[in-house]
Amino acid sequence: MKTILFALRVSDLERSLAFYRTVGYAELATMPFDDGSSLVWLKLPDESAVSLELVHRPADGPVVVGGFAHLAIEVESLGATVDRLTAGGLEPGAPESPGGSDGPKTSWVTDPDGYRIELVEWPPGGPPTPDQS
C-alpha cells in the first residue's frame, strides 16, 4: 500500500498553477469537465509520478481552508530554495531550526488559498526512522 497523491481544492486555477510551478512542480495532465471543473496533476522533479492534484470546482463556491494543517516538501538546500522562491515572487518565511542545531531546518510558504507548505532540509543522515528512537 502507498499514498498516490494529495489533492487541494483551489479557487483560481491559473494563480495556483503559477504558485506551484514556482515552488517547483511540473504539470503532468489536466482533466477538464463539462461543468467548468478541472483537475491538474503535478509532480516535483525527483518524483516518479503524480504527487499533487489541484481541484478547481468554481460551482462549489469559495475555497475555505479548515482542518488542514500543512503539506511538507523535502528540499536539498533550504537556503537555496528560500532564495529561489523569493526571487520567483513568493514570500517564504525565514529558515528555522525547530529541533535545535542537530534537527531539520524548515521554512514555511503559503499558497494563494491559504494552504501552508513546510519546506524541510534534513540534517546529514536524513530523517529519523522508527529504529532511531
In a domain, 63, yes or no: no
Measured distance CA(96)–CA(71) in Å, rounded: 17
Closest to 91 measured CA to CA, from 108, 68, 114, 72: 108
CATH number where 9 lies: 3.10.180.10
Model confidence pLDDT, tens digit, residues 18-62: 999 999 999 999 999 999 999 999 999 999 999 999 999 999 999
In a domain, 123, yes or no: yes
pLDDT, averaged across the chain: 93
> Would you list the DSSP string of 60-126?
G-S----S---EEEE-S-HHHHHHHHHHTT--PPPPB-TT-TTS-EEEEEE-TTS-EEEEEEPPTT-
In a domain, 24, yes or no: yes
- The domain in which residue 1 lies consists of 1-58
pTM of the model: 0.91
Counting the structural domains of the chain, the total is: 2
